[in-house]
Chain A
Amino acid sequence: MSPHQLDIQLVAVIVAASCSIPGAFLVLRRMSMMTDAISHSILLGIILAFFLVGDLSSPFLIIGAAASGVLAISLIEAVNRSRLVKKDASIGIVFPFLFSVAVILLSKYARNVHIDTHSVLLGEIAFAPFNRLIVSGMDLGPVSAYVMGSILLLNLLFISFFYKELKVSTFDESFASSIGFRPRLIHYLLMAVVSLTCVGAFDAVGSILVIALIVIPPCCAYLLTDSLFRMISLSVLFGISAAISGFWAANWLDVNIAGSMAFVCGVFFLVVFLFAPQRGLFGIMREKRRQRMDFAEASLLVSLYNQEKGEAVKNHPDSRGMFRSADFASKVVGFLKQKGEIAVTGGGLFLTERGRERARMTVEGR
């Protein structure tokens, strides 16, 4: 691993970690598509600020661009509040407009600067190590690692400082305002943090793929835990792993790094979606199968129990006919026999003591 590769990964890891943190709240607040709006809108801010400042890594540019993200959100909310346009359409007309203006400005007036329409979409994390922070002749590493590191620190400070406010206003907004938490203020602060993160991540992954880093790791975590704190920590973990494996995949295939990181995020989600212990697709299927078998067993036991008590089940004299197929019936009988809840003698089914107890409990509910 060359120092160059190490630097890229360092930046990627910091970007991924800072994206995952506010991302967890966006996912829980059902505002994932707001990321789409913010990440597109900040481009206009970046370009306008760049025209003013003339330096892509100036803190003024970062703050100005982040403000444009918050402005876009307020514009969307204003359009939506007028009740003339539905929420989704408000998002859908505001950010493409701002983005289009930005792209036109970019291709018309900023031809010769570092940003062009390609880096908007592709990011240029591969160039991150070239711009180095050098203090009195000492090379302290890539500048973007410091910029993004400060943003990560800010994100961490933000969520630790406002943890309970964020938590309460995310899960119960009216309760939050009734105890004086000002959920609107929290909302805008969160939007500001997301905008800032998007601006910081813009250099590395471009305008669109930042959505992957913000939305997907928290979604993975969301399927694995019910605790907010664990969800955030897991998101960060997922984000970091996706960044590193995405980098190596891109390195191996010699393709765009940001796109590869987004795709790896998707692969991670696919794996979690399929194999998460309780909420994964297979887990759910297993659980459904278990419930079905449980129900079938109980039905058979109760039917036998009723026969014993003389309340004969007319339609299914030997109880096995109640199932949709003979196959399934013999499966149920097999399981019950294994558990020692029924006995099969001379082709007939009989309850054992344990089976009778379970049937009684099923019928009487205790």
Chain B
Amino acid sequence: MLEFAVELFSDYTARTILLGAASLGVVSGVVGSYAVLRKQSLVGDVMSHAALPGIVLAFMIVGVKEQLPIFIGAALSAVLAVFVINLVTENSRIKTDSAMGMALSVFFGLGLVLLTYVQRMPDANQAGLDKFLFGQAEALVEKDVLIIGLTGFFALSVVGLFWKEFKLLCFDPDFGGTMGFSIKALDMLVTAVIVSAIVIGLQTVGVVLMSSMLIAPAVAARQWTGNMGSMVILAALVAAVSGVTGVALSAGFENIPTGPAVIVCVSVIAFFSILFSPNGFFTLKFKDAQSRREIRKDYVLKALHDLALEHDDPGYAHSERLLALGSERGFNVRKSLFALQAAGYVESVGEDNWRLTQSGIREVKGLSPLEKNR
């Protein structure tokens, strides 16, 4: 594996491909953040599927598998799908989700029809057109990477130029409107940027899974930060790393299509972030359990103290069973007692009896009134 990696990074072709994957990652990470923040993740899904008929049509018109026409065809048909969604939702009672489902399946269906039509044509030129379905990074050549870089540069420049405006669009478009920004124009611009990111990913990741390349890095980044700038940078990083890893995996092992490999990498990072980031699922669960333990310990401490005071002796010992009887919550009193013992607040006396130590008594007195009444 290591040998393979060394070989990969020293080989010129491999470097070209990895550079392409990395730049694609940077662009889709940045741009995808806007799709996610604007709750338009699924629009990305529709657009990437909808690019298929454009790709095939461009090929049918131009007759060769030329990069630029295919990009333009893909972009046009993706934008057309968004236009159709808006047309349908604005002029009928069809809701957005249904309109998206329809646009996605009809465009993709048309794409497959065209694809099967082209594949019947006698010349072999169209071979590899179906690589656009699941992506194939190995086919990337220098020129492709150059176009990826240029398109990506365009997309990133737009994001940089309209940073403030896009931020407004994500978080408070109504306020943006009152400030005199044309929300419609900004919306179109963001769509254009998203489309250009999708288009450059088609060759590497494929139409079927490209949307995930936009969504997952942004979702992952969002878990670690609440700052827009950091989120965008982090998303770019996540996507670039996944892109490179996925491409390397797909090249290194037989029969692994590039798109799925990249998406598995990026999804694993996203799920890891959701579970283990500082505000993540397990982290919160862990913190929850921790504070619950604290509360129980305070409760046991106080119960021991209250019971002991009935005997006018703060150090009077009581059995665990009595404590458990007094606790209405039915939790494991012994666990809390052991924890308190470890902290030196209680000590066990003979048969299962427990009493407060001096420092335990001090600790009870130190509990805030709120905690005491708990």
B168 within 8 Å of A by Cβ? Answer: no
Q: Which residues of B contact A263 (CB under 8 A)?
A: 106, 109-110, 113
Among B66-74, B274-282, B363-371, the stretch in contact with A:
B274-282
* CB closest chain-A residue, reference B259: A100
Q: Tell me if A366 counts as interface (CB < 8 A to partner B).
A: no
Q: Which residues of B contact A265 (CB under 8 A)?
A: 102, 105-106, 109
For the complex, what is the distance from the CA of A30 to the CA of B113, rounded to whole Å? 28
Q: How far is the CA of A262 from the CA of B94 in the complex (A)?
A: 18
Residues 252-290 of chain B, each 1 if its beta carbon lies under 8 Å from chain A, else 0 = 011111011101100100110010000111000000000
Partner of B101, one of A88, A215, A280: A215
Is A219 within 8 A of B215, CB to CB? no
* Nearest Cβ on chain B to A217's Cβ, whole angstroms: 10
- Indicate whether B120 reaches chain A with its CB closer than 8 angstroms: yes
Contacts of B117 in A (CB 8 A): 253-255
Partner of B102, one of A89, A216, A253: A216
Partner of A101, one of B49, B110, B260: B260
- Taking the complex as formed, is B86 at the interface, i.e. its CB lies under 8 A from any CB of chain A? no
Q: Known: A36-B45, A92-B215, A111-B255. Is A211-B105 also a contact (CB below 8 A)? A: yes
Complex CA distance for A9 and B85, rounded to whole angstroms: 30
When A82-B274, A86-B39, A222-B93 are in contact, do A250 and B113 touch as well, CB less than 8 Å?
yes
B208 near A208 (CB under 8 angstroms)? Answer: yes
CB-based contact B133/A266 at 8 Å: no
B25 nearest CB across to chain A (Å): 16
CA distance A36 to B108 in the complex (A): 13
- Known A-B contacts A222-B94, A223-B94, A256-B113; the reply to A97 vs B267 at CB < 8 A is yes
Q: Is B92 an interface residue (CB 8 A)?
A: yes
Name the one of B100, B254, B263 contacting A96, with C-beta atoms under 8 angstroms: B263
Whether B209 sits at the interface, judged by CB under 8 Å, is yes
Known: A211-B105, A219-B94. 14 other contacts (CB 8 A): A99-B260, A100-B260, A100-B261, A104-B261, A107-B257, A208-B104, A208-B105, A223-B92, A256-B112, A260-B109, A262-B110, A263-B109, A265-B105, A266-B105
B116-156 vs A: 1/0 string, CB under 8 Å? Answer: 11001000000000100110000000000000000000000
Interface flags for B22-63 (1: CB within 8 Å of A; 0: not) read 000000000000001001111011000100000000000000
Q: List 13 A-B contacts (CB under 8 A).
A: A36-B42, A82-B274, A88-B42, A93-B271, A100-B212, A103-B257, A223-B94, A255-B116, A256-B113, A259-B115, A265-B106, A265-B109, A281-B91
User: Which label, helix, strand, loop or mixed, suits the secondary structure of the B interface?
Assistant: helix
A128 at the interface (CB under 8 A from B): no
Report whether B260 and A103 are in contact in the complex, using a CB–CB cutoff of 8 Å. Answer: yes
Chain B window 77-109, contacts with chain A (Cβ cutoff 8 Å), 1 for yes, 0 for no: 000000000001001111101101110111011
For the complex of A and B, the 10 pairs showing the least CB-CB separation, nearest first, are A262-B109, A266-B106, A259-B112, A96-B212, A212-B105, A97-B267, A100-B260, A32-B101, A92-B41, A215-B101
With an 8 A cutoff between CB atoms, is A35 at the interface? Answer: yes
CA distance A97 to B264 in the complex (A): 6
Could you tell me the distance between the alpha carbons of A31 and B120 in the complex, rounded to whole angstroms?
37
Cα–Cα, bound, A33→B98 (Å): 7
- DSSP majority for the A interface? helix
B88 touches A273 (CB 8 A): yes
B101 CB to closest chain A CB, in angstroms? 4
Mark out the residues of chain A between 228 and 262 whose CB falls within 8 Å of any chain B CB in the assembled complex.
250, 253-256, 258-262
| Cross-interface CB contact of B110 among A32, A266, A273, A281, cutoff 8 Å | A266
Query: Is B245 positioned at the interface, with any CB of A under 8 Å from its CB?
Result: no
Report the number of A-B residue pairs with Cβ-Cβ less than 8 Å: 212
Whole-angstrom CA separation of A79 from B256 in the bound complex: 28
Question: Any chain B CB within 8 A of the CB of A122?
Answer: yes
**Hey, which chain A residues are within 8 Å of B204, CB to CB?**
none
For residue B257, give the distance in angstroms from its CB to the closest CB of chain A.
Answer: 6
CB of A99 to closest CB in B, whole Å = 7
How far is A79 from B255 in the complex, measured between Cα atoms in Å?
31
B104 touches A36 (CB 8 A): yes
Please state if A93 and B101 are interface contacts (CB–CB under 8 Å).
no
**A260–B274 CB distance below 8 A:** no
Which of A121, A214, A265, A269 has the largest number of chain B CB atoms within 10 A?
A121
- Complex interface bits, A75-96 against B, C-beta within 8 A gives 1, otherwise 0: 0000100101111110111001
From the candidates B39, B41, B274, name the one contacting A84 in the complex (CB within 8 A). B274
The winner among A35, A89, A91 for most chain B CB atoms within 10 A is A89
Q: Does A306 contact B (CB under 8 A)?
A: no
- Give the chain B neighbours of A103 by CB distance below 8 A: 134, 257, 259-260
A339 adjacent to chain B (CB < 8 Å): no
A279 within 8 Å of B (CB atoms): yes
- Is A147 interfacial (CB 8 A cutoff)? no
Given contacts A84-B281, A92-B215, A208-B49, A117 and B133 within 8 Å (CB-CB) = yes
The answer, yes or no, to whether B111 is at the interface (CB within 8 Å) is yes
**For residue A209, which residues in chain B have a CB less than 8 angstroms away from its CB?**
105, 108-109, 112
Contact A79 B116 (CB under 8 A): no
CB distance from A24 to the nearest CB of B (A): 11
Residues of B within 8 A of A122 (CB): 112, 116
**A27 at the B interface (CB under 8 A):** yes
B98 close to A27 (CB less than 8 A):
yes
Q: How far is A35 from B42 in the complex, measured between Cα atoms in Å?
A: 12
Min CB–CB distance B40 → chain A (angstroms):
7
Are B109 and A33 in contact, CB atoms less than 8 angstroms apart? no
**Distance between Cα atoms of A209 and B113 in the complex (Å):** 11
Cβ–Cβ < 8 Å partners of B261 in chain A: 100, 104
Interface residue? B237 (CB, 8 A): no
A108 within 8 A of B: yes
Q: How far is the CA of A22 from the CA of B13 in the complex (A)?
A: 50
Per a CB cutoff under 8 Å, which of B92, B104, B219 touches A85? B219
